[in-house]
Chain A
Amino acid sequence: DVQLVESGGGLVQPGGSLRLSCAASGFTFNNFEMTWVRQAPGKGLEWVSGIAGGGDSTFYADSVKGRFTISRDNSKNTLYLEMNSLRAEDTAKYFCGRDARGPDCWGQGTLVTVSS
């Protein structure tokens, strides 16, 4: 079965950093673009970032460009999101998804809270 498991969320102070991970299994990881999508408490879905299967192309929402970095390790079947200069408005549950153009499989999400 296809499975995505996010980890790395937690409480961080404004201006701080955090690295999220997404462990993938059940499919050929490097064949798929991957994506991060977030959802602030009680709000809608926001596409955050995407990465090509080989990791050579990356894309970002304007709201995170220059602060977040998406990457992947295809030898470990793992997707990452490095988040720097975190702001209160980055507080959300972060989901990883398979297929950046329309995720067909989602993880359960990991909660990031930015607060002093």
Chain B
Amino acid sequence: DVVMTQSPLSLPVTLGQPASISCRSSQSLVLSDGNTYLNWFQQRPGQSPRRLIYMVSNRDSGVPDRFSGSGSGTDFTLKISRVEAEDIGIYYCMQGTHWPGTFGQGTKVEIK
């Protein structure tokens, strides 16, 4: 199975400042159709996960533009340009290129 490794696992942030989460996969996430199925999810306390980014860099509808995704191959990043209070939660990367799908361990974003 593809192993997804996130860092850091804990990210204390200052409101209004940028934040960045790294996600690395144990093998390339480029599928034979040319697409890279790397997603980012946000999970707020007590809520179901919410997809923020799909196929590396595409923001889902309603996701603020302060969230952005980038990367290729095995190395991916989620960036928040200016953290707001509502961004607190746990962020997961997930690959859907290779079956079974696999998630990273999660990164807990909290206020400093």
Stretch at the interface among A17-25, A72-80, A84-92, A94-102: A94-102
> Cβ of B39 < 8 Å from any Cβ of A?
yes
> Cβ of A45 < 8 Å from any Cβ of B?
yes
B49 and A46 form a contact (CB under 8 A): no
Name the residue of chain A whose CB is nearest to the CB of B55: A102
Instruction: Report the interface size for chain A: residues with CB under 8 A from the other chain.
Output: 23
Name the residue of chain B whose CB is nearest to the CB of A44: B106
Residues of A within 8 Å of B94, CB to CB, are 45, 47, 102
The total of Cβ contacts below 8 Å across the A-B interface reads 64
**Chain B nearest Cβ from A28, distance in angstroms:** 18
Name the residue of chain A whose CB is nearest to the CB of B1: A62
Name the residue of chain B whose CB is nearest to the CB of A105: B51
A45 and B96 form a contact (CB under 8 A): no
For the complex, give the distance between the alpha carbons of A103 and B50 in Å.
Answer: 8
**Chain B nearest Cβ from A106, distance in angstroms:** 4
Q: Mark B39-52, 1 if CB is under 8 A from A, else 0.
A: 10101000011110
Residues of chain A whose beta carbon lies under 8 Å from any beta carbon of chain B? 35, 37, 44-47, 49-50, 59-62, 95, 99-104, 106-109
Q: What are the 7 closest A-B residue pairs judged by CB atoms, nearest first? A: A101-B96, A102-B39, A47-B101, A59-B99, A106-B48, A44-B106, A101-B37
